[in-house]
Structure 1
């Protein structure tokens, strides 16, 4: 199965494709990838052999010349976690042409020229309600006009696919091929298929953060006495939220988690919790904020963050060996697509619904 990975980041889609292919004896070949962030590209190339692939780089520049697209090898599936830029000018004054600069339309250029059989895209769940629903309607219509009559989308939570992170993401699937009459693309069906058919796979799996958090880490990951009250705060007079640390299911990883300043949003853990003989009983103890502030509290390490996205320790080590800083690694983990979710979707599409018949 040949594929291209757009807005590749560090290669979450590709990692899922590789694991899925190995597990189900489906040869995988990536013909090219696009990524504008040079640091993410370093991590990508540290973990994948890209020697014979087209390194697209800036997709806007690449697709500005149709000959570049035409020179790409044919491929079966296009994947990518595209950024959600504003479509808010749609229908206002100059109308449609004003949003042609949006990078989504560069995907459409490739689809119209190369016409792969399948598309699998990922984005934030808020894309469904962005601009009062106009954005998703535009996306759907543009994909249809590119020749894809079957388009589906649904929100999937990473937590339901063997990773201890709550992460809701929208997946858009489209194909030119005929689908089974009873085909349904939703999280419930993919979860049922995952639970029934993916008990054995190459995926990393964890039921809680306790399975991946290290008991002892370097001192640099611990918060200062000054910072602890900030992340333990329940907010200000204008913003109230219940701040909690030691989450068994992590909050969604973010690209800004390196800053260690976002109470109620990022993930923090206490030494006392991680090294308790009975961590669940520790959680039941009602510590005051003042008492918790006396505990040693730390953020995730880059290795832990990558594990929560389904990427093993070697993935981070390979990047570090290329000189990537922790700052960049946190950003990359926060921006990544969860490997397990992509794998579960691929299995549901190509094995359970036998769409592999169109590519093998």
Structure 2
């Protein structure tokens, strides 16, 4: 099956398809990708085998502004994309289609109207489902249906797919294929099918963070004595939060985690928790003041990549080509979770929707 990956980032959709190909479930071949961030494209290019005839689309706005570019794309059967989500995110201004980034969905529509691939798989933040009292999602569904697609969607939590990260995202599947009456597209059903299969796959899978955390890392990943009290604080009288560390199922990675938010938003781990493989958790017995005296560190870029289902080598390969930690954290936070995409595609293949 030929595939076009939009808003590629570090290639979460592509990685899932590479593993499906490797597992002899179905052969996938990428015909092109779009990515505007040069650092993300570096990570992408050093970790995938890019065919000489594969089209690097670059900035999708510039690319789709000329219809000849769209027409020049090779035929493909599946379009994927985690289109920019900041305008729909709970952490953003939730301006939706009123902001330029929210218009990126319509650049997808520009391509779909010309190329009409059989299948589309899109990812976005959970808040897209209810944004603007449901009108934003209704608009997306209506636009896809207007050009002949059947549309399905549900909320998927990465933690349900054997990656220890609480990360809820909406996945939208659209197809022009004839759909059986009994077809269901639900996260619960797809997770159940994945549970029967995942141990036989080439995917990375972990049940808790302790299978991801490395015992020894560079000192630069440890929090300074000055910053620990601030990051561990439960907030002020105007803003209260539960700033716990040592979460066995990590909080959702964010694109801004390199800025180091409070522990209610980011993931931090004490060294005794790491070395004991989670058997010792000082959170259970210590005050915040006592915790602040312990060696505590943030995730490394390699660990962040692993929490999204990528091999740690992806981050190391990017580092060897000059990609800094800050960019790697951003890339991990923006990525789609590989196991979730694998599970969805496997389910669609098993249901004979993708064939």
Structure 1 length normalisation: TM-score? Answer: 0.93
Residue in 1 that maps onto 2:92:
none
Shift of 1:189: 0.5
Map of 1:113-262 to 2, 5 A cutoff? 113-148=114-149, 150-262=150-262
Residue in 1 that maps onto 2:4:
4
In the alignment, is the contact (CA less than 8 A) between 2:282 and 2:291 conserved in 1? no
Superposed CA deviations along residues 262-302 of structure 1, whole A, max 9, x for unmatched, are 230100001121123x7334357311111101100000001
- Distance, in Å, in 1 between the alignment partners of 2:56 and 2:193 is 35
Structure 1 residues 227 and 99, CA gap change in structure 2 (3 angstroms): closer
> How many pairs align?
346
In the alignment, is the contact (CA less than 8 A) between 1:80 and 1:122 conserved in 2? yes
Would you say 1:355 and 2:353 are equivalent positions? yes
Would you say 1:43 and 2:58 are equivalent positions? no
Structure 1 residues 288 and 45, CA gap change in structure 2 (3 angstroms): same
Residue in 2 that maps onto 1:93:
none
Map of 1:317-332 to 2, 5 A cutoff? 317-332=316-331
Residue in 2 that maps onto 1:73:
74
Shift of 1:237: 1.2
- Distance, in Å, in 2 between the alignment partners of 1:214 and 1:332 is 20
In the alignment, is the contact (CA less than 8 A) between 1:251 and 1:266 conserved in 2? yes
Structure 2 length normalisation: TM-score? Answer: 0.94
Superposed CA deviations along residues 50-78 of structure 1, whole A, max 9, x for unmatched, are 23211111111111111111110010100
Residue in 2 that maps onto 1:18:
18
Shift of 1:197: 2.9
SS at match of 1:349: helix
The gaps in structure 2 that reach 5 residues or longer are 88-94
In the alignment, is the contact (CA less than 8 A) between 2:283 and 2:291 conserved in 1? no
Map of 1:247-286 to 2, 5 A cutoff? 247-276=247-276, 279-282=278-281, 285-286=284-285
RMSD (Å) for aligned C-alpha atoms: 1.7
Residue in 1 that maps onto 2:293:
294
- Distance, in Å, in 1 between the alignment partners of 2:159 and 2:96 is 30
Superposed CA deviations along residues 162-184 of structure 1, whole A, max 9, x for unmatched, are 10111000000000001222111
Structure 1 residues 88 and 33, CA gap change in structure 2 (3 angstroms): closer
- Distance, in Å, in 1 between the alignment partners of 2:9 and 2:143 is 24
Higher mean alpha-carbon deviation, 320-329 vs 48-57, is at 48-57
In the alignment, is the contact (CA less than 8 A) between 1:130 and 1:136 conserved in 2? yes
SS at match of 1:280: coil
SS at match of 1:199: helix
